[in-house]
Amino acid sequence: MSVIPPPPRPLQQFFRSGPMPCPYLPGRVERKLFTRLSTPYASEVNSTLSRAGFRRSHDIVYRPVCPGCNACVPVRIPVADFQPGRSMRRILKANADLSVAEVPAIATHEQFRLFHAYQSSRHGDSDMARMSLGDYSAMVDEGRAETCLFEVRDRRDRLVGAILTDRLRDGLSAVYSFYDADQEKRSLGTFMILSLVAQSLAEGIPYVYLGYWIRNSRKMAYKARFQPLEALGPEGWFRLGLGDLTQAPPSTAPAAAP
C-alpha cells in the first residue's frame, strides 16, 4: 500500500511597509516587517513569530525594522518568578470586588460602548477613537488565532474592562486592552495584566507577552513595572535588570535597509 504524502505547506510571505511617522517617539520614522495570518496555520505562525519578537494586530503579525532605531524591545513576564510589589498588591486588593471571566472572541455592543468611551477619554485624537462598531468587530474577529477575551465586571455585572488575548504555545499574549477610564483609582490596566499572570499560573503557561517596551515612551514605559521582565535581544530572551531599564535599550531590531 502506498502512502499519500500530505500536501506541502505554503511558504509564509513577508513584506516591508513604507516609511511612516513613529507613533511613539516624535521625529522618528517607522517601518515594519509583516506577514498575514491565514488558516489553518494561524495559531502556529502566531506562536512562532511572537517568540521571535513579532506582535499581532488584526490579521497582521509584525515587528519594527526602523532604520537607525532599536527602541522597541519585545518583553514578556516569566510568571513563575513574578512577584507583585507593594503597589500591585494594593491594586489587587482594591479590585477584589471584580470578577474576570474568559469569553469567546466575539464583539458585542457592550464591549464597543466601553471601547469607544475609553478611546474618547484616553486617545481622542487617534484613529482608534473614530472606529465604528464594524471596525471594532474587525479588530476582534480578524486574524483570530486561539483568541479570546477576558472581561472584567463589577458586582452589578457591569463591564469595566476587557483584554483581547491570544493563546500561544508558551504563553498568553495581551493583544489590546480597554477599560473604564473614569475609575482611575482602580488602575484597571495594571489589574488586567495581573489577571493574565494569574490565569497563566493557573494553566501552567510560562509567559505573558506584553508586546514592545519603549523606554522613552510614556505609553509603553509602564511595562517596566512588571518584574522580573524578560526582553528579546540578539542572543535570545534574557532577564532585564534594573540597569537595563534605565540605560539605552539593547539592539533587538534586525538590520534594515534605509
In this predicted model, what pLDDT tens digit does every residue of 109-159 receive, in sequence order?
999 999 999 998 877 667 777 889 999 999 999 887 899 999 999 999 999
User: Residue 204 burial (CB < 10 Å; 0-12/13-18/19+)?
Assistant: exposed
pLDDT of residue 24: 87
In this predicted model, what pLDDT tens digit does every residue of 166-221 receive, in sequence order?
999 999 999 999 999 999 999 999 999 999 999 999 999 999 999 999 988 887 88
At 251, is the pLDDT very low, low, confident or very high (cuts 50, 70, 90)? very low
Give the residue with greater pLDDT, 244 vs 110: 110
pLDDT of residue 253: 37
Total number of residues shown for the chain? 258
The Cβ of residue 71 has, within 10 Å, a number of other Cβ atoms equal to 21
Sign of CA dihedral 222, 164, 124, 69: positive
Q: Which of 16-30, 47-61, 80-94, 231-245 has the lowest mean pLDDT?
A: 231-245
Kindly report the pTM of this predicted structure. Answer: 0.89
**Are 52 and 42 spatial neighbours (Cβ–Cβ below 8 Å)?**
no
| Distance from C-alpha of 171 to C-alpha of 169, rounded to nearest angstrom | 6
- The angle at the Cα of 210, spanning 23 to 62, to the nearest 5 degrees, equals 55
